[in-house]
């Protein structure tokens, strides 16, 4: 059985400039559990009081049955750290220790045999507190292979049922990672392996896939790929990749976009529009040949339907566009043109070298310029609106979001940064239905006030 360990609350918070509040930590953990993540690394409690309080809140939700994921407390191989993590009643304590020669010499100031004794003591000490233990072999990818096996066996014999093989500086290669993990599994078959892949050379997803093929059963990830330096394996990407390449379900794909937006809001780290899976452009097509293919059969340029991820496809109009794309765009607005007129419109578009893209109204204006007549676009079949929601103080935004999803007519709910907490997209067949939906949204428990804006045109 393969699963995901999400470390957004531990590794992710080690991203420069990122600091989650206690409430944010709890909301993120709840969202991760809702998304089906097997394990949540809730933080390193000795780092700060807010992390401790966050873990307490997460463990409380676990006891109440709100969170189903296994909760993990992070710890150095130090008795004080281990005791504190175990005292919070987490399901598992994760103990880490650098095992490469450079870590042993330059960081720990110790030798290999002494390190083995320390690892054994730390794992046994944690097990004596009645918790499950994962040992993380930090910098395992640069360690002497023979010594790595000694470390894994030592941790196993001391009581660890899982060992994380950490590619701490991202030097593993996808072409060798599978064999590397297969070899460890052969040498130590009675312990479960994790892969913790850093993304320094952009190989984290590929290395994680290869590790699973080699026998790893848990992949460490963070939402949006947050983490030290350039981060680790992005949850949304590896979640889809495991499903597509290996047929393994590790996360609810329809939850990924909302989860990505939540962490983007709380981390303050904006997601690039061309980011895989959850970026704004992930299902936006541009080149005329591509758009023509998509209009004929979406599978020509999409490996997964956007609807599976709770998203929709779109395409832009600019100098790369073809006749079919422009025709379909205009038909959506109730405008039908002959091929000759379409060609003239396309020529006009290509003449404007500084136009990055054409919005709907820009395209209509251009058509009016070419035809010399005023167009009457078809009125929308549905009324669309966007509701900005402000939540009551001390209310979990995630709980409000969950209730909003139950309102008929609500199409999308996003947690956002800024003055408001949540953006709700709704559709209605007429103004009467629209007002009813708005009133239902306003009546959701935990909402303080709302502002509604009608969608006039889609860009």
Residues with catalytic function: 290
| CA–CA dist 21, 57 (Å, integer) | 12
74 assigned to a ligand binding site: yes
178 assigned to a ligand binding site: no
* Full DSSP string of 282-335: TTEE-SHHHHHHHHH-GGGT-SS-GGGGT---EE--STT--HHHHHHHHHHTT-
- CA-based nearest residue to 73, from 93, 51, 102, 103: 93
Q: How many CA atoms lie within 13 A of 415 on its CB side?
A: 26
Q: Are strands 162-167 and 132-138 parallel, antiparallel or unpaired?
A: parallel
Which alpha helices (H) appear in 167-311, and where do they start and end?
Answer: 174-187, 204-213, 235-246, 256-267, 288-296
Between CA 14 and CA 134, with CA 102 as vertex, the angle to 5 degrees is 55
10 assigned to a ligand binding site: yes
168 assigned to a ligand binding site: yes
| CA–CA dist 261, 280 (Å, integer) | 11
Q: How many CA atoms lie within 13 A of 330 on its CB side?
A: 24
Residue 267 token pair: 């981390």
3-state secondary structure 380-426: CCCEEEEEEEEECCCCCHHHHHHHHCCCCCEEEEEECCCCCCEEEEE
361 assigned to a ligand binding site: no
How many CB atoms lie under 10 A from the CB of residue 378? Answer: 10
Q: Which residues are annotated as a binding site for Mg(2+)?
A: 11, 196, 198
Q: Which residues are annotated as a binding site for 2-oxoglutarate?
A: 10, 74, 134, 168
Q: Which residues are annotated as a binding site?
A: 10-11, 74, 134, 168, 196, 198
């Amino acid at each position: 059985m393969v699963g995901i360990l999400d470390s957004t609350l531990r590794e992710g918070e080690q991203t420069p400039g990122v600091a989650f509040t206690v409430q944010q930590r709890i909301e993120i953990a709840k969202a991760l559990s809702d998304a089906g993540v097997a394990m949540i690394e809730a933080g390193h409690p000795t780092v700060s009081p807010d992390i401790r309080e966050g873990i307490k809140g997460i463990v409380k939700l676990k006891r109440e049955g709100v969170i189903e994921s296994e909760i993990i407390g992070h710890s150095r191989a130090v008795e004080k750290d281990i005791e504190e993590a175990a005292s919070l009643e987490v399901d598992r304590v994760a103990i880490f220790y650098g095992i490469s020669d450079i870590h042993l010499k330059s960081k720990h100031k110790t030798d290999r045999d002494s390190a083995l004794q320390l690892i054994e003591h730390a794992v046994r000490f944690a097990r004596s507190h009645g918790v499950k233990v994962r040992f993380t072999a930090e910098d395992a990818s640069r360690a002497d292979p023979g010594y790595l096996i000694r470390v894994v066996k030592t941790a196993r014999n001391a009581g660890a049922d899982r060992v994380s093989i950490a590619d701490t500086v991202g030097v593993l290669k996808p072409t060798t990672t599978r064999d590397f993990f297969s070899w460890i599994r052969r040498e130590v078959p009675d312990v479960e392996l994790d892969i913790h892949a850093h993304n320094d050379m952009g190989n984290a997803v590929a290395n994680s896939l290869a590790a699973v093929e080699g026998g790893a059963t848990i992949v460490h990830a963070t939402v949006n790929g947050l983490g030290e330096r350039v981060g680790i394996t992005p949850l949304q990407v590896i979640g889809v990749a495991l499903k597509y390449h290996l047929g393994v379900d590790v996360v609810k794909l329809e939850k990924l976009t909302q989860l990505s937006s939540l962490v983007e809001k709380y981390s303050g780290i904006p997601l690039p529009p061309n980011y895989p899976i959850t970026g704004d452009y992930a299902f936006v097509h541009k080149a005329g040949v591509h758009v023509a293919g998509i209009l004929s059969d979406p599978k020509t340029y999409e490996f997964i339907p956007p609807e599976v991820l709770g998203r929709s496809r779109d395409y832009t109009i600019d100098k790369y566009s073809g006749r079919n794309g422009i025709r379909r765009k205009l038909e959506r607005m109730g405008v039908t043109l002959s091929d000759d007129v379409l060609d003239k419109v396309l020529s006009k578009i290509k003449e404007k070298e500084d136009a990055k893209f054409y919005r709907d109204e820009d395209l209509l204006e251009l058509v009016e310029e070419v035809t010399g007549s005023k167009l009457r676009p078809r009125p929308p079949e549905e009324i669309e609106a966007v509701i900005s929601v402000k939540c009551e103080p001390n209310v979990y935004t995630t709980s409000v979001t969950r209730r909003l999803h139950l309102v008929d007519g609500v199409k999308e709910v996003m947690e956002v940064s800024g003055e408001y907490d949540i953006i709700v997209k709704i559709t209605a067949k007429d103004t009467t239905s629209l007002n009813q939906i708005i009133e239902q949204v306003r009546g959701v428990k935990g909402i303080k006030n709302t502002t509604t804006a009608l969608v006039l045109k889609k860009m």
